[in-house]
């Protein structure tokens, strides 16, 4: 089983990838984890990855493809994998097809966890931090404290980091959609795209995802 998982930041795709990998006994390959591991290893590739991450830049396709190809060729991935955070661009998707094609394998399914921009902004922009004790509050889980604008522990003022402001979040989501919409079209064209509504509770989304996988592999 070779599954690609697509979804915007805040769609909950990392959580679903973890669940799927456990249920199916396949590897969960998260590009973010690979980048962090490489940066910590500190070899030549790791040094390059680290310098992009430190500058807040996306790691270029060439490096990303190399890392993913190495990872999916490892014994851990013998039973299959679910890719989380990769491919991110059409170029990466084609490189993945090529790498798998050399082994006579292919991506069988691209699962797209769909969440509206409005809901993504609500989920991602609700973080508030106390100026006094740095306690983190979220508008969804602590509406009362956020509404009051004061920390429950120390009475300090709550503020938002610029990364967590709705307009910053909205821009990040727009960039994501602009980048991945060709990818979604590509997998749709190949007849591999399965769209899942990701707006419900984690368990509801999980049931829909497992249903789609059963339909394909049961």
Footprint (CB under 5 A) of Zn ion, residues 83-102: none
Query: For helices 117-124 and 166-189, what crossing angle results, to 10°?
Result: 130
Query: Out of 50, 88, 123, 208, which one is annotated catalytic?
Result: 88
Question: What CA–CA distance (Å, rounded) separates 178 from 199?
Answer: 21
Q: What is the maximum span of the chain, computed from C-alpha positions, in angstroms?
A: 62
Query: Out of 36, 122, 150, 172, which one is annotated catalytic?
Result: 172
Query: For helices 61-73 and 90-101, what crossing angle results, to 10°?
Result: 30
Residue closer to Zn ion by CB (options 14, 156) is 156
User: Does residue 94 carry a catalytic annotation?
Assistant: no
Instruction: Give the nearest distance from C-beta 131 to Zn ion in angstroms.
Output: 7
Tell me which stretch binds Zn ion (CB under 5 A): 5-13, 68-76, 117-125, 153-161.
153-161
Least Cα distance to 6 among 80, 93, 121 occurs for 93
By CB under 5 A, tell whether 150 contacts Zn ion. no
136-138 vs 127-130, strand pairing mode: antiparallel
User: Contact at 8 Å (CB) between 35 and 48?
Assistant: no
Instruction: Give the nearest distance from C-beta 146 to Zn ion in angstroms.
Output: 13
Instruction: Give the nearest distance from C-beta 133 to Zn ion in angstroms.
Output: 3
Tell me which stretch binds Zn ion (CB under 5 A): 48-56, 118-126, 155-163, 174-182.
155-163
Question: Which residues are CB-contacts of 14 (< 8 A; sequence separation ≥ 6)?
Answer: 30, 84
Tell me which stretch binds Zn ion (CB under 5 A): 3-11, 101-109, 146-154, 198-206.
146-154
User: Does residue 150 carry a catalytic annotation?
Assistant: no
Which one among 74, 133, 140, 165 touches Zn ion, defined by CB under 5 A? Answer: 133
127-130 vs 158-159, strand pairing mode: antiparallel
Footprint (CB under 5 A) of Zn ion, residues 23-82: none
By CB under 5 A, tell whether 152 contacts Zn ion. no
Question: What CA–CA distance (Å, rounded) separates 183 from 111?
Answer: 12
By CB under 5 A, tell whether 151 contacts Zn ion. yes
Least Cα distance to 26 among 78, 63, 80, 68 occurs for 80
Tell me which stretch binds Zn ion (CB under 5 A): 89-97, 130-138, 188-196, 206-214.
130-138
Residue closer to Zn ion by CB (options 159, 217) is 159
Question: What CA–CA distance (Å, rounded) separates 68 from 12?
Answer: 22
Which positions are catalytic? 13, 88, 127, 161, 172
Interaction site with Zn ion (CB under 5 A): 130, 132-133, 135, 151, 153-154, 156
């Amino acid at each position: 089983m070779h599954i690609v998982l697509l979804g915007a930041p805040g769609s909950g795709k990392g959580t679903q990838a973890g669940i799927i990998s456990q249920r199916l006994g396949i590897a969960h390959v998260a590009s973010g984890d690979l980048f962090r591991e490489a940066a910590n290893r500190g070899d030549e590739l790791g040094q390059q990855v680290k310098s992009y991450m430190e500058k807040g830049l996306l790691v270029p396709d060439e490096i990303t493809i190399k890392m993913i190809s190495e990872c999916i060729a490892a014994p851990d991935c013998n039973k299959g994998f679910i890719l989380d955070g990769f491919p991110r661009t059409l170029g990466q998707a084609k490189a993945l097809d090529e790498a798998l094609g050399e082994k006579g394998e292919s991506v069988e399914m691209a699962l797209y966890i769909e969440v509206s921009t409005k809901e993504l902004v609500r989920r991602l922009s609700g973080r508030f931090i106390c100026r006094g004790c740095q306690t983190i509050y979220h508008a969804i889980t602590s509406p009362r404290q956020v509404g009051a604008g004061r920390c429950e522990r120390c009475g300090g003022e709550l503020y938002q980091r610029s990364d967590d402001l709705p307009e910053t979040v909205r821009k990040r989501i727009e960039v994501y959609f602009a980048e991945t919409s060709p990818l979604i079209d590509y997998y749709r064209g190949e007849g591999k795209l399965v769209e899942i509504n990701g707006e419900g509770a984690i368990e509801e989304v999980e049931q829909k995802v497992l249903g789609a996988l059963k339909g394909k592999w049961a």
